[in-house]
Amino acid sequence: METLADRLEMLPQVGRVEWIGLSPHPRGELRSVTEATLLVDHGLEDDHHAKHKVGSKRQVTLIQAEHLPTIASMVHNPSVTPGLLRRNLVIAGINLLALKGRKFRIGDCELEGTGPCDPCSRMEENLGPGGLNAMRGHGGLTARVLIGGVIKIGDEVRALGSAMTHG
């Protein structure tokens, strides 16, 4: 008989990259690009998070495309652009939280989901009053880069193996 743990290990869904954003400076505007280079143990080239010390758990930030309409609804806007949410990648078709503690591929690159990407108070500035609370539970995932290379809009996002046992 299959256990809950067995079922949690199954992640047959394959996602795809819908949007890529880079911000060369903290609090700077995110620039939408069609491709970007992932640097091993740093993050996305030309993004300020890649300048953090080696080993940071927040090298790349990802958000679920399916959550964008929910966030927009909660702040009473017809839509929310990915750049306002301060994440590097918008991913559709796979539950990002299922990638926490697990290795996954984006195109030919390999990443490891390191934890939830909790929203910050900047969401109040970007989305208006209630923006922080609208993002709670919808902030996405942080990841570190294990194998670098170029990623592009449309690349597959696929889980590898089973979840890691360390934090």
Average pLDDT over residues 34-41: 96
Report the CATH number at residue 151.
2.40.33.20
In a domain, 138, yes or no: yes
For residue 142, being part of any structural domain is answered with: yes
Asked if pLDDT for residue 7 goes beyond 90, the answer is no
Task: Determine the pLDDT at residue 24.
Answer: 87
In a domain, 128, yes or no: yes
Question: Does residue 166 belong to any structural domain of this protein?
Answer: no
pLDDT of residue 56: 85
* Stated pTM of the model: 0.89
What does DSSP assign to residue 30?
P
Where do we find the tokens 């539970």? 137
CB 159 within 8 A of CB 94: yes
Q: Which domain covers residue 79, as residue numbers? A: 4-159
**Total structural domains in the chain?**
1
Scanning the chain, the segments in alpha helix (DSSP H) are: 4-9, 68-74, 122-127, 131-135
Structure tokens, 53: 């010390």
Is the residue at 164 inside a domain? no
Q: Is residue 167 part of a domain?
A: no
Q: What is the pLDDT of residues 80-114, one digit of tens each?
A: 998 899 899 999 999 999 999 999 999 999 999 99
Q: Residue 83 falls within a domain, yes or no?
A: yes
Side chain identity, residue 120:
C
Q: Is 48 exposed, middle or buried (0-12, 13-18, 19+ CB in 10 A)?
A: middle
